Chains A and B, each alone.
Chain A
């Protein structure tokens, strides 16, 4: 990974994290969080860890989508109304996000030499299932118990 790329993405992560905390509007805070996650995924892609980058991106996208849906349902559009200067912020957000996405998609074609070790899926899979098989089982059990608990919480009891 080139150092300039790392510094650009690190700056983006820090700026997005700072703005995510300081902004008053929860919708913008979520958008800045998306920027931070995409920038971290860009760093991971630069480190030849494309599978982990994709996993982090998809996991965060799913969780942030659930978060947004929850915010929209709970607050019912009252607290998520657009503040002033919303259009400029939205344009900046989407331009920056599209630039990062273009980098993520085309980065493997630009680099000619490997600056980092090979973190491909077979390498990670070997380590994951050979050395950390027990950890995978524990996490699978954790996720399964969470799903069962969430389902049990959300199912409403029928009155007899």
Chain B
């Protein structure tokens, strides 16, 4: 049994699809949107790492490191913005943000 390229692409595509679906499904909940975005990052990370192993090239893993770094920065920065908003308005609902 071998690991084929279509399988890898399917798994990473499904991860990205699940992330996009999560963003669309939980539009009114900022925290859930953040979780879904992390799923998209996980899909790209998976794609980079498997491509790196398939083509015997470590560059993909370097981008994997950059991607995981970017995920951490994104989560912490967005949580900070949420906290600042929550301090001011005492809610995090997108529906109430629209007015």
Contact = CB atoms under 8 A, between A and B. Distances in A.
Contact of B62 (A10, A132, A153): A132
A140 to B, nearest CB: 10
Contacts of B76: 63, 66, 146, 150
A56 B64 contact: yes
Nearest to A156: B87
Given A14-B11, A40-B45, A74-B86, A29 B80 contact: no
Interface in B65-86: 65-66, 68-73, 75-77, 79-84, 86
B28 to A, nearest CB: 13
A115 to B, nearest CB: 9
Q: Taking each of A4, A7, A70, A135, which has the highest tally of chain B beta carbons within 10 Å of its own beta carbon?
A: A70
How many interface residues does chain B have, given as a range?
A: 35 or more
A131 B61 CA distance: 13
Contacts of A62: 72
Contact of B61 (A52, A60, A63): A52
A6 B5 CA distance: 13
Interface in A39-98: 40, 43-44, 47, 49, 52, 55-56, 59-60, 62-63, 66-67, 70-71, 74
Interface of B: 1-3, 7, 11, 14-15, 18-19, 21-22, 25, 29, 31-32, 34-36, 38-39, 42, 45-46, 49-50, 52-53, 56, 58-59, 61-62, 64-66, 68-73, 75-77, 79-84, 86, 92
29 contacts: A3-B1, A13-B15, A13-B46, A14-B11, A21-B18, A21-B19, A26-B29, A26-B31, A33-B39, A40-B42, A52-B65, A59-B68, A60-B71, A60-B72, A66-B75, A67-B34, A67-B79, A70-B83, A74-B82, A74-B92, A117-B58, A119-B52, A119-B53, A127-B59, A132-B62, A142-B73, A143-B69, A149-B77, A153-B81
